Amino acid sequence: METLNALVAFLNYVVVPATSYGAQLALGALGVTLIYGILRFSNFAHGDTMAFGTATTILCTWWLQSNGVSFGPLPTALLALPFGIAITSAMVLATDRTVYRFHRKRKASPVILLIVSMGVMFVMNGLTRFIIGVQDRNFSDGDRFVINARQFTEMTGLSEGLALRTTSVITVGAAVIIVAALFWFLNRTRTGKSMRAFSDNEDLALLSGVSPDRVVTVTWLLVAALATTAGVLYGLDKSFSPFTYFQLLLPVFASAVVGGLGNPVGAIVGAFVISFSEVTFTYAWKKVLTYALPGSLLPDGLVQLLSTEYKYAVSFAILVLVLLFKPTGLLKGKSL
């Protein structure tokens, strides 16, 4: 019984939060990694692309809600998501045509493209703040829990409850579907294959008749969809503010780099490495240990390795360690 309680507490406070956060990071990191693999630069504007996508989705959600539309037990934002993705796609494609294409055609070095993305980051960040303001926003509606802690304890008779929030379930479900679809697209379709070819060897791909403009356009569309979905899922789970999303750039980059930049599977692995270590390092293990250990062995403190404020620091410490020992990431990424 005690062991079961310990397990439930562990699931409730560590596994569930880390899994849904990891799924959100994975979607974000996939976007970063696609851009790195195909367009060959680190996109510093990615956090703000997520913010912009989420902001437009929130606006559409409000519009839907004001018209009395709802999605039953699910958040209305899911209905608004396609609109958000469409607007964000238009935005990133416009950015590519007006900004990135010029530098791409001149074969600018990755560092110059990185600086260009810094400019885009400023513009997008300001636009998002201008459109929706700087406040924290909660836009989740529908049922809060699939199972709440009390229902769970009543059902199982355990003293520790396991709460499953709707947003966690949606996040993980959506992430699984999107990742499956993405890998099917990259591995099975003609366009996906040409994208991978372009990423592996640009010159050879061009010789084989791959159209670079098409590859670039499809990449940006995928990136817009991934970034918007990641942002909306994160916002449903926690809340939205332009500044938090700008900061998300850090763990998202850490995930992509830890897994190996340019490698989609790596991005997912990296995201879960980062999310699980953030949670394990900053969770106070006392509660789990109370069940798992006999009273005499129980430590006095909270058994928390680092305070929760250090969660971004944890992701970066891991990033730096990985860069030092395996500079191309856990799974093989590419280095420009």
Distance CA 12, CA 164 (A): 8
- Which among 23-31, 36-44, 274-282, 286-294 is the span making contact with another protein, rule CB under 8 A? 36-44
- Which among 55-63, 95-103, 147-155, 175-183 is the span making contact with another protein, rule CB under 8 A? 95-103
The one-letter amino acid at 336: L
If phi over 0 gives left and psi between -120 and 50 gives alpha, with beta otherwise, what is residue 260? left
| CB 137 to another protein: min, Å | 14
The answer to whether 145 and 166 have CB atoms below 8 angstroms apart is yes
Closest CA to 184 of 173, 196, 172: 196
Q: Would you say 102 or 184 has its CB closer to another protein?
A: 102
Residues binding another protein: what is the number (CB under 8 A)? 50
> Within 165-224, which residues bind another protein (CB under 8 A)?
none
Write out the two tokens for 109. 């070095």
Residue owning tokens 């410490």: 317
Q: How far is CA 276 from CA 134, 251, 330, in A?
A: 29, 12, 15
Q: What is the DSSP string of 199-229?
A: HH-HHHHHHTT--HHHHHHHHHHHHHHHHHH
Applying CB under 8 A, does 335 fall inside the site for another protein?
Answer: yes
Q: Which of 99, 169, 206, 331 binds another protein (CB under 8 A)?
A: 99
Q: Which of 11, 292, 317, 331 binds another protein (CB under 8 A)?
A: 317
Q: Which of 221, 289, 312, 331 binds another protein (CB under 8 A)?
A: 312
The answer to whether 111 and 177 have CB atoms below 8 angstroms apart is no
- Which among 188-196, 208-216, 265-273, 315-323 is the span making contact with another protein, rule CB under 8 A? 315-323
DSSP 3-state of 304 = coil
The answer to whether 264 and 332 have CB atoms below 8 angstroms apart is no
Applying CB under 8 A, does 320 fall inside the site for another protein?
Answer: yes
β-partners of residue 71 are 74
> Within 115-144, which residues bind another protein (CB under 8 A)?
115-116, 118-127, 129-130, 133-134
Applying CB under 8 A, does 336 fall inside the site for another protein?
Answer: yes
DSSP 3-state of 146 = strand
Q: Would you say 250 or 331 has its CB closer to another protein?
A: 250
Q: Would you say 246 or 283 has its CB closer to another protein?
A: 246
Distance CA 210, CA 235 (A): 37
| CB 253 to another protein: min, Å | 5
- Which among 77-85, 227-235, 279-287, 312-320 is the span making contact with another protein, rule CB under 8 A? 312-320
Applying CB under 8 A, does 307 fall inside the site for another protein?
Answer: yes
Residue owning tokens 């636009």: 127
Q: What is the DSSP string of 33-76?
A: HHIIIII-S--TTHHHHHHHHHHHHHHHHHHHHHTT--BTTB-T
| CB 234 to another protein: min, Å | 19
Q: Which of 13, 245, 253, 272 binds another protein (CB under 8 A)?
A: 253
Q: Would you say 78 or 116 has its CB closer to another protein?
A: 116
Applying CB under 8 A, does 299 fall inside the site for another protein?
Answer: no
Positions in the binding site for another protein (CB under 8 A): 36, 41-42, 44, 99, 102-103, 109-112, 114-116, 118-127, 129-130, 133-134, 243, 246, 250, 253-254, 257, 261, 307, 309-310, 312-313, 315-317, 319-320, 323-324, 327, 335-336
